[in-house]
A and B are shown apart, each in its own frame.
Chain A
Amino acid sequence: MLNSIMPFGNTHNNFKLNFKVEEEYPDLTKHNNHMAKVLTKDMYAKLRDKQTPSGFTLDDVIQTGVDNPGHPFIMTVGCVAGDEESYEVFKDLLDPIISDRHSGYKPTDKHKTDLNFENLKGGDDLDPNYVLSSRVRTGRSIKGYTLPPHNSRGERRAVERLSVEALDTLDGEFKGKYYPLNKMTDAEQEQLIADHFLFDKPVSPLLLGAGMARDWPDARGIWHNDAKSFLVWVNEEDHLRVISMEKGGNMKEVFRRFCVGLKRIEETFKKHNHGFMWNEHLGYVLTCPSNLGTGLRGGVHVKLPKLSTHAKFEEILGRLRLQKRGTGGVDTASVGGVFDISNADRLGSSEVDQVQMVVDGVKLMVEMEKKLEKGEAIDGMIPAQK
């Protein structure tokens, strides 16, 4: 049981297997996250002596969920993957979490990928008096490397090198420049902050508890095109985060640029024999189980001061399969009636499906807002469950 053939033992602290399951099982009585709902003592007993080929263990998967019992605004996942194999080796734990988080998605289900922007209907006419900005993001993991909770400095630097190589080949509307965090000048930093592009060292305990901030800012950086409408984060919560954004409500254009840019990046990686982690069950494989499938969050910043205080706001969002966040992102509250509205789903529907839901849903909510402004009722407009 104590495998010392490799340089590192099969469980990081070998002594823990000398203790009984009861003694090692975490206290989850005050916890409210997906991991805590699913991880029974028996499951812990079954999985505790396993590891992925790179050495990621069950305790590595769940540590962030043990250290972060709950979140005021959202039901957190409470576990992370350290590599592609985590989703296989720990499927006893992760399959039920995926099912719970992704609306009943079954271990036998197949996920569809559709990055053909022409399949999106409309989306070029969201009212800019209400829709202040539009944005689509996703993540990608490079096959053969471990993920941010687990990767070594050598791996992280290799991911950075490959990413910069690929991004430097982009031209036309995508021509741009890479800014490594550890070499950034003060002037560059000021500009990136002013553009709302700069990501800082994570402060969220959810991320820190999973080990993603180790060695910061080594091998982290930001790439963006000259027009500042297409942006790639390297080695933040995922190997790559790809973002297309612009002011106003032309989600169609944002999505077009997103799809085209993403495809170009993927082609370059493939040419160098590095694909993205993807399989037909989980779609794109990312660090957080909540981002499996498309990894896509398509959203807008939209003024909904009246609708957001309406008794049925949550109900409407639920039926439209949309989610609200504050304008500072996932851990924030809204300011001045402006909300970040985005798709709630990631897995089991395609990229086009999800952006369509955002486009149609936001259009409807803006119409509702206008009705409420005029003092009219919106009861007849409440949509059916999508």
Chain B
Amino acid sequence: MSAAGLRCPGCGSSNIVDDDLYCQAQLVCVDCGSVVSEGTLADDPVGGTDVSYSRTTEMTRKPCLNLIKGLERVKEICRILRVSSEIEDLALTHFRQAYEHESFINVTLQRKELLAGCCVFVSCRQRDWPITLGTISCLLNADQTLVGGVYQNMMKILNIQAPFINVTDVIEAHVQEYKISTQHVPEELAEDSKVLSKRAVALVELAGDSWIVTGRKPLPIMMAATYLAWQSLNPNKHRLRLSLDKFCQLAKVQKRKPATTRITELKEVLCKLGRELPWVREPVTQNDVVPLVGDILEHRHTLLTRALRTHERAMEADCTQTFALNSLTEEVAPSQISESRNQTANASSVVQPCPNTRGENQEGDGDENHQSEDPEPNWGKRVLFAPPCVLHAKMRRVERPVQNVTGDEEISDSEIDSYIRSPQEVRDFAQMQKMASCSDSGKS
């Protein structure tokens, strides 16, 4: 290539030739021999080759190491739980699918491990294998809320549904955990696992019917049921004296804090039914209901119907009494009666004409107080069994009555000014901020 127009910087001559002899093309001045310019050493295009290394056939694509590890972990968990191979395969499929998603590909290893556990959990549920999230959390040694978060994320990504698992299905597996057979504990405290599990199932069913189970975590309920079952199967003084704490230590399970409340709630239900036993003379209290548990569970359906009937009759008797009282005080305005009837008309299914008048009685009282906090008649107290959160309803702070606002009202200047600092305040505040930041920087 002719280098016309180029001048050698050394001698100024325009006699420059293209020297291709050596590997590097150069423009050389003939007169003084200095190199004017040189070509590139390699012929590769700017920025490297067209095909990147990772995409060439130089390197076979190896699966991500963490994916392999994760799959191994899934298999491990499945083997610990001794689930069927079908569940294991399903879990591996889910894991592979979820792993590729952006929510799980660039996260901490801990999260990936939680994902492994959640895949197993979902697969178990889909194949009707009873298991709780608590068990998985224990296996993964992680906080249940964290696991729950990963689980819900995964469900959204995979877009699958997991059928609901009932507590009654899980209780049998749960009871197996308790080391309470004759091999582990002394004779008077030992119990056969099958017998224990059968009674625990009955207790959990009863709990389910009487609103103790819905909305609550299953593990404490199962623990309470197991404990009561164990106590009632042989209510000798050793067992009755043993507290839940000691029982859990004995059986080598971790105690759950809410289990004590569940025990109380369950005992209450048992008392209500125990009262209906025809051969029981003394009133049944929490302390002496345990020996009766066997009988109660055996006849629980009959006892349930009897208890409901007794309760209805008690309600009616109560109403007629209050109605008699009210008929004397006839100055109750008809509008008030209709209003309170409206108010209480949509109570639970056990409603009869009476609760309205009872509500009316309460209304009458409330009216005289002229307080704005008129407590609503708690419908929970009118039925035999109600969810404990209704029976022990939290006291809500009374909301101020809503004013009628159009949104277009005038906004007074004084109100707005009350939200703005005066100049003196501004100065003080600025000074204080400066002092605070000075002291901070002084300390640090």
A and B assemble together: no
Chain B positions within 8 Å of A, measured between CB atoms, are none
